[in-house]
Amino acid sequence: MSDSPPSDPQPDRGRPPDRSASEPRRDFLKKAAAAGIGTAIVLVPVAAGLATVFDPLRRKGSAGEKVFVTSLDSLPQDGLPQKFAILASRIDAWNSFPNAPVGAVYLRRTSDNQVEALNVVCPHAGCFVDFRQEKKDFFCPCHNSSFSLDGKIADRKSPAPRGLDGLEVEIRNEKEVWVKFQNFQTGHARKIPVA
């Protein structure tokens, strides 16, 4: 019997290397790569869709642009106001409406080739004012504000904080009445355009 220590085990050179430990890791990497590609395939069209969906919200409407309203001949020489709808392109959420009503104005001829325009919206709380033929003034039926022909507050008891909102008018080609239409915030003493 020998007292020498047992010799170190020799590698078995005839057996193939044991890959069982590295295979689960390789499978995991393959699955992770497939999941990443799948996520990208889903997210790219979704991102493109969202950009399309929200695109109209980023576009500007036609507020503040001059729009053709009527011909000068259609306004009477007596200086009494006539009411006209304002038609313009309107973008509502995802749809575009060409020539849609976006508001209304009273037009009044103050000389042969001069016209004044007033927004019909009452600056108190946004009701539409009426022109009273018998009193030759504008009257808001919601809380009884009254305005003179030039839009100024007529009755000091009127709750409106300012007169009717005047709008810029341009006469083009000597007969076309164009108005820079704009709505303003209600409830303020000064005119603050609605964005």
Binding segment toward ligand FES, per CB under 6 A, in 1-9, 28-36, 56-64, 121-129: 121-129
- Residue 119 structure tokens: 């927004």
Q: Which is nearer to ligand FES, 153 or 169 (CB)?
A: 153
- The residues, any chain, with a CB within 8 Å of residue 105's CB and separated by 6 or more, are 69, 83, 84, 86, 117, 118, 119, 120, 167, 179, 181
Q: Which residues contact 67 (CB under 8 A, 6 or more apart)?
A: 86, 87, 88, 178, 179, 181
Stretch that binds ligand FES, among 7-15, 34-42, 138-146, 164-172 (CB under 6 A): 138-146
118 touches ligand FES by CB under 6 A: no
DSSP sequence for 92-117? ETTEEEEEEEEEEEEEEEEETTEEEE
Minimum CB distance to ligand FES, residue 167 (Å)? 18
Question: Does the footprint of ligand FES cover residue 125 (CB under 6 A)?
Answer: yes
Candidates 19-27, 69-77, 78-86, 118-126: pick the segment binding ligand FES (CB under 6 A).
Answer: 118-126
How many CB atoms are closer than 10 A to CB 104? 16
Taking CB under 6 A as the rule, does residue 154 contact ligand FES? no
At residue 28, what are phi and psi to the nearest 5 degrees? -60, -45
If binding is defined by CB under 6 A, does position 159 make contact with ligand FES?
yes
Nearer to ligand FES, 145 or 183 (CB): 145
Q: Which positions lie near ligand FES, rule CB under 6 A?
A: 122, 124-125, 127, 140, 142-143, 145, 159-160
